[in-house]
Homo-oligomer: A and B are copies of this chain.
Amino acid sequence: MRSAARIFVVIAAVALAAPAAMAETPKFARNATSFTLDNGIEVVVIPDHRAPIVTHMVWYKAGAADEQSGVSGVAHFLEHLMFKGTKDHPEGEFSKVINSVGGNENAFTTDDTTAYHQTVAKQYLPQMMEFEADRMANLQLSEPEVLTERDVILEERRMRIDSSPGARLGEAVRAALYANSRYGIPTIGWQNEMEQLDLDDAVAWYDRFYTPNNAFVIVAGDVTEDEVRKLAEATYGKVKRRFDPPPRFRAAEPEPQAARTVTLADPQVTQPSLQRLYLAPSYATAAPGEAEALDILAEILGGGTTSRLYRDLVVDQGIAASAGTFYQSNQLGDTMFGFYGSPRGDVTLDRIEAALDADIARVVSDGVTEAEVAAAKRRLIAATVFAEDNAFSLARALGTAIATGETIEEAQNWPAAIDAVTVDAVNAAAARYLDVRRSVTGYLVGEPAKNPS
């Protein structure tokens, strides 16, 4: 409820402001400050004194797309193995402490980064930092525990991917979209390669990326920068710079030449669906303003129940059970701008695709309106304010931006950058990127694929 109230206030404020009133646009994570210790680790502090809790995250600038050929999945594998303990803190101790104080913890791996986080009452922050600093340099792994954990990630793959036709289609669609970069390879890894991962692979990954000068820390919550600096110096500051990480590199995609489709047929599928992905630039690869324009375009076309697609396919025509867009804008390399839709009742996928194509063709030929752009800006900026209300989501959003190449200042000024987008910029982005040659269309169907062989 509190969140909703805050959003309302911001929407009202923006709505009353003059157009392009950039000075009045709220900043994202405006309290965030940062400093860098001698060993190269950057520490970001986001004070928020509403409750005596803190979220503590450590981020490594290494994700699945940094893997070398043949060891897909090793980034995520090491994320699991980071819970195996050190000499000073054997396996399980860290988690036991968090549980005993009523905190929670987790970790995640993406294509561009790996992060570990805990949310605890503020007095336990020093202990969290000490544990994370310790496992940054002192992880101990043995062959048996590595092989046991490999069974765990293989089981995770079976559960999350292999048993889900939609997830299998998603993998095949991304493999078809990316012709050059490793974003076409699943974050969790290909099963045939995961089965071969061993202690050497895990240690090689740890010794290539886990060093303070390849990491950053975010502490959000009931702290001050001074407090965090003292704690950071006493914990992370003691970790030696172990080596220089390789330069971050994402192979650029060639200009796509041909429209592609991917059809996954599985008797398990009871609700057919389709997705359409276009290769698009990310904040890291786009020309200035282009990624912001795509964010607004995604919002206009498919952001929620007032979007064009939802109104057209779900409400007006009544042919779709769902329809919308997604734009994975925070990525180090070229990324995807996507559409999805699933039919209602007996409606065919062909009909959904034709309606989707008509809406895409219309935005390419006729463009968007001033009113649509203004409304999309209000919603996007309001969403950043919504994120502010939760220390974890705020830290995660800021961390994602930093891990994919943005500065803290760029991330803070994102609302103003969104506010500066023009109708022309949105129309130019639609015309440039919603080109069928850049696309892959994925079909999830219950019956066998059309080709009978």
Contact = CB atoms under 8 A, between A and B. Distances in A.
Contacts of A181: 69
Contacts of A452: 357-358, 361, 436
Given A69-B182, A180-B190, A452-B361, A258 B263 contact: yes
Contacts of A262: 258-260
B264 A261 contact: no
A452 B354 CA distance: 9
A10 interface: no
A438 to B, nearest CB: 10
A154 interface: no
Which of A176, A192, A451 counts the most chain B CB atoms within 10 A?
A451
Interface in A342-364: 353, 357-358, 360-361, 364
A173 B260 CA distance: 9
A33 interface: no
A431 B182 CA distance: 31
B361 A257 contact: no
A364 to B, nearest CB: 6
Nearest to A191: B254
Contacts of A190: 179-180, 254
B72 A180 contact: yes
Nearest to A252: B192
A173 to B, nearest CB: 8
A254 B189 CA distance: 10
A260 B176 contact: yes
Contacts of A176: 175-176, 260
Contacts of A451: 259, 353, 357, 436, 439, 441
Interface string A412-440: 00000000000000000000001111010
A261 B321 CA distance: 26
Given A185-B180, A193-B251, A249-B69, A257 B453 contact: no
A168 B255 CA distance: 11
Interface residues of A, number: 55
A184 interface: yes
A176 B255 CA distance: 14
Interface in A246-298: 249, 251-265
Number of copies: 2
A333 to B, nearest CB: 11
A238 B392 CA distance: 65
A70 interface: yes
A336 to B, nearest CB: 15
Contacts of A169: 257-258
A449 interface: yes
A252 B193 contact: yes
Contact of A171 (B172, B193, B257): B257
Nearest to A178: B175
A169 B452 CA distance: 23
Contact of A360 (B441, B449, B453): B453
Nearest to A173: B258
Nearest to A165: B257
A6 to B, nearest CB: 38
Nearest to A266: B257
Nearest to A439: B451
Contact of A168 (B257, B260, B434): B257
B361 A453 contact: yes
Nearest to A453: B360
A262 B257 CA distance: 9
Which of A258, A265, A353 counts the most chain B CB atoms within 10 A?
A258
| A-B interface, 7 closest residue pairs, ranked by CB to CB distance from nearest | A190-B254, A172-B258, A360-B453, A175-B179, A258-B264, A261-B261, A436-B451
Given A258-B265, A436-B452, 4 more contacts: A72-B180, A180-B190, A192-B253, A436-B448
21 contacts: A69-B180, A69-B181, A72-B180, A172-B257, A173-B258, A176-B260, A179-B185, A179-B190, A180-B185, A180-B193, A192-B255, A193-B254, A258-B265, A258-B442, A259-B263, A259-B449, A361-B452, A361-B453, A364-B453, A434-B453, A439-B453
